[in-house]
Amino acid sequence: MTILIKNVRKANGRYGKLFVKLRTPAQKEEFYSYDVGSGNLSICCCVTFFIFTIIIIMGSICFYKERHHQTVSLIYPPPKLSDVPNWWYNRGEDLKKLLVDGMSQNQHVLKITHKQPHQPLPEERQTSPDVKKLVCYYAMPDPLKKFDSLQLKNIDANLCTHVNVGIVPIIDNTLAITSEMVQLFNETRELRAKNKDLKFLIWTGGVDYEKSFANMVKNHANRKAFIRSLKFALREYEFDGIDLDWEFPSAFNKERQHFSQLLQEIRREYQREKRDYLLTVAVAAVEGIAYYAYDVKEINKYADFANIMTYDYHFWTRGTPFTGLNAPLYPRKHEHSILGTLNLNYSLNFWHSSGLDKNKIVVGLPTYGHSFKLVNPFNHEIGAPASGYGNVGKMGFASFSEVCWFKQNNIYVTIVYDPDTCSPYLHSVNEWISFENQQSLACKTKFIRDQGYGGAMLFSLNTDDFGMLCSRNTIEYENDVPETFPLIRKVKSILFK
Ligand SMILES: *[C@@H]1O[C@H](CO)[C@@H](O)[C@H](O)[C@H]1NC(C)=O
Ligand SMILES: *[C@@H]1O[C@H](CO)[C@@H](O)[C@H](O)[C@H]1NC(C)=O
């Protein structure tokens, strides 16, 4: 970032103009200019003093205005937990399709029956309570993304206990494994050779734009076709299990019951085949979604463990136009009702008290962050008004390497650590980013360990600093030895201590 102060002589005196140039990882240069006043001052320091006085006054006025604006335009629905917070579903412009059809019309007639399936239940699945899990997601890289070039074979075979590889889409009720995917699955052989205990799972699902997951669970025949393709894939590619990441079942069309049915049928098939394949799920953390989406007791019965997606609590949307933390451990002071539920501590208690054993709770930790564009560069608190995604990242999703790049290439970047939520954020001009560093993940991992949960899930290997870009940026390192995957490595060092 460079700041240029230009004084333009005008007939009636001098104008001060503050030009700010921000560099972003996409190599775009963004210019911002702020008029800072006029006058007839000739001495340089007077000009500077004058400029900054005006900045402060303008900042205060804008701050006051925005604060005022914010209090009148808050759109949170009444804090009744029986209401699904629609704004939460509304994950940005192109995630709108997630909205459950008719949710708002049906809201008041909605009755939830957490019913058991009719079939006799196979034995409960027991996992060894003592073995902590470190589950890492690996996404097939997008060749168009500058910071997303991680090859599966280049991950550290001794870092995680489980690696979920995907996303494998579901087409016509079956796992659709492309030739690129086959190539990728083949890379697991090299890693297994280095660590025979490392487990690989097929990661399927994701945001269900096409309703392909919903369609697959709908009836017995469709589920059967899926399970057949699953058995084939596990055998053919020598995988250890499946991770079902359906975002998200709804309370309508019996989707929740059908999801439980699928889990039961997969488990029964594993037992029939006498295979100890794994069955895991990735589930919503937020109570307003999870309550409607899952029969938690059924998940507890059939799944080996559940990866709770305890992140994305705050990111920019039109409905939530202010900054917030991606994965706060606890609520902040003054956060009440629904806002007070958007944190790890609350979500994990919800899942545990709904019937999921502690050793089956694998706590999600992000290695990525969310960026925001501040309305006013001088109002940069948590909760400050934001007008869109920040420049860093794609749709505001910023990898740790991108955050480090931004910090290295701009001066006047301020990093703030909020000890109450174990979360850092940074700001510079109108860029604001909630991210994770070694300190925040160490803090959250200690919580996981001390509370006796089953382990940590990291999303993702791709968004950690695998290329050691952050190592040139000593602030992020406790020692000066550069390491690949510094964030996940930190989690590992504490989880297994
Ligand atoms: C899988 O990888 C091995 C080397 O690890 C290679 O010899 C083989 O041709 C690969 N198979 C496919 C289908 O890519
Ligand atoms: C964490 O959750 C528990 C159970 O809901 C609650 O009693 C406790 O106060 C929470 N801790 C904080 C710091 O909010």
d(CA 427, CA 372): 9
User: What ranges do the domains of the chain cover?
Assistant: 2-73, 115-495
Nearest in space to 371 (alpha carbons), one of 415, 425, 327: 425
Q: Which two tokens stand for residue 373?
A: 């564009």
What average pLDDT does range 204-212 have in this prediction?
93
- State the pLDDT confidence band at 221, using cuts at 50, 70 and 90: very high
Name all residues whose Cβ lies below 6 A of ligand 2. Answer: 330-331, 345, 349
Strand residues in 349-430 grouped as ranges (E): 361-366, 369-374, 386-389, 397-398, 414-418, 423-428
Instruction: Choose one of 181, 183, 186 to mutate for the ligand 1 pocket test, by most ligand atoms within 8 angstroms of C-beta.
Output: 186
Burial 358-382 (b: 16+ CB within 10 A, else e): ebbbbbbbbbbbbbbbbbbbbbbeb
Q: Which ligand does the CA of 238 lie closest to?
A: 1
Amino acid at 272: R
In whole angstroms, how far apart are CA 291 and each of 86, 271, 283, 294, 302? 14, 29, 11, 6, 18
The answer, yes or no, to whether any atom of ligand 1 lies below 6 A from the CB of 189, is yes
d(CA 239, CA 192): 11
Q: Write phi, then psi, for 162 (nearest 5 degrees).
A: -135, 140
What average pLDDT does range 229-239 have in this prediction?
97
- Range of lowest pLDDT (80-94, 176-190, 261-275): 80-94
Whole-number Å distance, alpha carbon 190 to ligand 1 midpoint, is 10
- Give the pLDDT of residue 72: 27
- Per-residue pLDDT reduced to its tens digit, 413-422: 999 999 999 9
- Range of lowest pLDDT (24-28, 44-48, 493-497): 44-48
User: Atom 3, ligand 1: which residue's CA is nearest?
Assistant: 186
- Give the pLDDT of residue 16: 36
CATH superfamily, with its number, for domain 115-495: Glycosidases (3.20.20.80)
What average pLDDT does range 35-61 have in this prediction?
46
**How far is C-alpha 372 from the chain's CA centre?**
15
- The answer, yes or no, to whether residue 228 has pLDDT greater than 70, is yes
Whole-number Å distance, alpha carbon 346 to ligand 2 midpoint, is 7
Q: Which ligand does the CA of 193 lie closest to?
A: 1
| Dihedral angle of Cα 408, 466, 139, 97, to the nearest 10 degrees | -20
d(CA 267, CA 413): 51
Instruction: Choose one of 332, 337, 344, 349 to mutate for the ligand 2 pocket test, by most ligand atoms within 8 angstroms of C-beta.
Output: 349
pLDDT > 90: percent of the chain: 65
- Give the pLDDT of residue 45: 42
Whole-number Å distance, alpha carbon 408 to ligand 1 midpoint, is 39
- State the pLDDT confidence band at 251, using cuts at 50, 70 and 90: confident
Whole-number Å distance, alpha carbon 241 to ligand 1 midpoint, is 21
Q: What is the DSSP letter of 152?
A: G
What average pLDDT does range 25-49 have in this prediction?
47
What average pLDDT does range 147-160 have in this prediction?
90
Contact 492, 162 (CB under 8 A): no
- Give the pLDDT of residue 98: 35
User: Atom 12, ligand 2: which residue's CA is nearest?
Assistant: 330
Three-class DSSP category at 199: strand
Contact 86, 77 (CB under 8 A): yes
Instruction: Choose one of 330, 335, 354, 451 to mutate for the ligand 2 pocket test, by most ligand atoms within 8 angstroms of C-beta.
Output: 330
d(CA 188, CA 155): 10
Burial 153-191 (b: 16+ CB within 10 A, else e): eebbbebbbbbbbbbbbbeebbbebeeebeebbebbeeb
What average pLDDT does range 382-409 have in this prediction?
94
DSSP letter string over 452-478? T-SEEEEE-TTTS-TT--GGGSGGG-S
The answer, yes or no, to whether any atom of ligand 1 lies below 6 A from the CB of 126, is no
- Range of lowest pLDDT (170-179, 202-211, 222-231, 468-477): 468-477
- Per-residue pLDDT reduced to its tens digit, 324-383: 999 999 999 999 889 999 999 999 999 999 999 999 999 999 999 999 999 999 999 999
Whole-number Å distance, alpha carbon 182 to ligand 1 midpoint, is 10
- The answer, yes or no, to whether residue 66 has pLDDT greater than 70, is no
